[in-house]
């Protein structure tokens, strides 16, 4: 039986014309993926709750075994994988709907944080195979990326789905980053 992967990126935000996390989903189309897996990509809106609602719709229809969420962290210099989604938002900028959530829990009754469930050492190993370092991060921030990660981890908690979030750095050229992400998906 084929292993199913759902990979996501985001649309542009903060007045940018492009978002490399969304662009890599398009880059993946047409690439040869191992015969033992099926990969579906989705570009999500940069909106509080909207990204998760779109994810949930695709997830419920596709029923993936693994979820790799991606987003852009313009201030970072390396590819980073997140260890935990926290139950907190404190946006410094509005989302694409103009909403700014400030200093509040994502889910009043939810746990303070949830750890990602894909083996981070394997992710790091596959990224290095492609010549790219993958650093571990303990903060997905307090914006839409973290909100999506936290909600996804809550949603898949009792399902047989592993999930994580990878932040792409702010760079001029993403060829090496896209190759590392491709190697991760092909290797897991």
Catalytic residues: 82, 145, 167
- Residue 159 corresponds to which tokens in the numbers above? 């399902």
- Residue 117 corresponds to which tokens in the numbers above? 């469930």
Which of helix, strand or coil describes residue 53? helix
DSSP state letter for 103: S
Residue 38 C-alpha from the chain's centroid: 18
Sequence-distant contacts of 56-63: CB under 8 A, at least 24 apart = 56/155, 58/6, 59/6, 59/155, 59/156, 59/161, 62/4, 62/6, 63/4
């Amino acid at each position: 039986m084929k292993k199913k992967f759902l990979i996501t990126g985001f649309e542009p935000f903060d007045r940018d014309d492009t978002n490399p996390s969304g662009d890599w989903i398009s880059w993946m189309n047409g690439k040869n993926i191992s015969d033992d897996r099926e990969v579906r990509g989705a570009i999500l809106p940069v909106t509080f709750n909207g990204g998760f609602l779109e994810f949930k719709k695709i997830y419920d229809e596709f029923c993936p075994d693994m979820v790799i969420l991606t987003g852009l962290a313009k201030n970072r210099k390396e590819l980073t994988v997140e260890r935990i989604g926290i139950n907190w938002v404190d946006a410094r900028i509005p989302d694409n709907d103009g909403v700014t959530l400030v200093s509040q829990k994502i889910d009043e009754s939810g746990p303070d944080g949830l750890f990602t469930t894909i083996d981070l050492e394997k992710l790091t190993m596959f990224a290095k195979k492609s010549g790219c370092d993958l650093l571990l991060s303990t903060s997905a921030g307090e914006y839409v990326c973290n909100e999506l990660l936290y909600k996804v981890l809550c949603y898949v908690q009792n399902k047989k789905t592993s999930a994580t979030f990878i932040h792409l750095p702010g760079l001029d050229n993403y060829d090496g980053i896209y190759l590392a992400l491709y190697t991760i998906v092909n290797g897991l």
